[in-house]
Amino acid sequence: MSGDYGAQVCVPASLDQLKTDQELRMILVGQESILRPYLENIPATLASRVSFHEASQLVTMDEDPRTALRKKKDSSMRVAINLVRDGLADACVSAGNTGALMATARFVLRTLPGIDRPAIISTMPAIGGHTHMLDLGANSHCTAVQLFQFGVMGSVVASDIHELESPRVGLLNIGVEAIKGTDLVREAGRMLNRSNLNYVGFVEANDIFTGQVDVVVSDGFAGNVALKTLEGAARMISSYMRAEFTRSLFSRIQGLVALPVLKAFRKRIDPRRYNGASLVGLNGIVVKSHGSADRIAFGNAIQTALIECQQGVPTQISNLLEEQAN
């Protein structure tokens, strides 16, 4: 178990989920000597549904993905993904190094037939709901065909996670007119237009948050820029709020009065609610939790993996892709 906090967060979060879901079983992958102490004194009903799988190595958060792939063949990340490949686990959830997780998952699980490159998809907050966005950083540069495939994958995930019959798919561009953007984006737009997806056309980055679209497709560079801009802007706005409410004794009192409302507001934009990015397009389910996720956030990542297992996301992607070809 890696991530910034390792077992300290992942094990308690796993136990929380075991309590909530009586059908769930968890395999903790790592050094049993480190993991076992976290399980002392847990009820037998939980203990019976937890098992261990030894892995002697750990991929560090700043390790080069290629080095991790070559030299860490017994890392917890690699071993967990092997379990998925071998059918011994239904999904892998990791808070580790994103690049290494993607490289390892791609190498071990391989992409689905008809999918060129896997992508990272996650929910973003939107007025009145959520938007699914992909790719969030796995592929700096994409072809038009890959963007089209992202549209198919995004449509499946949005449909499964938010029970939408026909998710509205938009293609990220720097204007909504047909002449805008690069040749590549325009070509992807034409492909999506010819598909049987519910394609709504070009969207701009502000549309991610309006609730007018369910899936936003982009290459990993633009997607990552949108994700990091949101994170940075939210942090700046929080910092401004804190500064304003602590400016004077009087504003501190005003802040105290407003506290319950501010708390409710913070809860709405709590990034922990949006934790759990999926690596889609693979022969198996892999969910990436934020490296600094806490117990609640990591729990949400496990829940995302659970829904994807129940819905059979990889099979659905293959099916929807096949429909497009016909």
Residue type for position 83? L
Other CB atoms within a 10 A radius of the CB of residue 299 amount to: 25
| Interatomic CA distance for residues 93 and 27, integer angstroms | 10
Q: Report yes or no: 31 and 56 within 8 Å, Cβ to Cβ.
A: yes
In the chain, the N- to C-terminal Cα span, in Å, equals: 43
Name 177's Cβ contacts closer than 8 Å, sequence gap at least 6. 202
Q: Which residue has the tokens 């737009």?
A: 189
- Indicate whether 33 belongs to the interface with a copy of itself (CB under 8 A): no
Q: Which residue has the tokens 């993905």?
A: 65
Q: Binding string to a copy of itself for residues 56 to 95, with x set by CB under 8 A, is what?
A: ------x-x-------------------------------
Cβ proximity to a copy of itself: between 26 and 134 the closer is 134
Q: Report yes or no: 57 and 89 within 8 Å, Cβ to Cβ.
A: no
Residues 190-219 that bind a copy of itself (CB under 8 A): 204-210, 218
Q: Which of 40, 86, 163, 177 binds a copy of itself (CB under 8 A)?
A: 177
Cβ proximity to a copy of itself: between 160 and 204 the closer is 204
Q: Which of 227, 293, 301, 320 binds a copy of itself (CB under 8 A)?
A: 227
- Indicate whether 154 belongs to the interface with a copy of itself (CB under 8 A): no
Q: Report yes or no: 299 and 107 within 8 Å, Cβ to Cβ.
A: no
Cβ proximity to a copy of itself: between 46 and 61 the closer is 61
- Indicate whether 260 belongs to the interface with a copy of itself (CB under 8 A): yes
Residues 286-315 that bind a copy of itself (CB under 8 A): none
Joined tokens for residue 156: 């499946």
- Indicate whether 141 belongs to the interface with a copy of itself (CB under 8 A): yes
Beta carbon of residue 206, minimum distance to a copy of itself (angstroms, whole number): 3
- Indicate whether 249 belongs to the interface with a copy of itself (CB under 8 A): no
3-state secondary structure of 300: helix
Closest C-alpha among 204, 213, 218 to residue 148: 218
Cβ proximity to a copy of itself: between 52 and 245 the closer is 245
Beta carbon of residue 173, minimum distance to a copy of itself (angstroms, whole number): 8
Q: Report yes or no: 19 and 50 within 8 Å, Cβ to Cβ.
A: no
Joined tokens for residue 53: 């799988």
Note the residues at the interface with a copy of itself (CB under 8 A): 62, 64, 99, 125-127, 137, 140-141, 172, 174-175, 177, 179-182, 185, 204-210, 218, 220-222, 224-237, 239-241, 244-245, 247, 251, 254-255, 257-258, 260-262, 264-265, 268-269
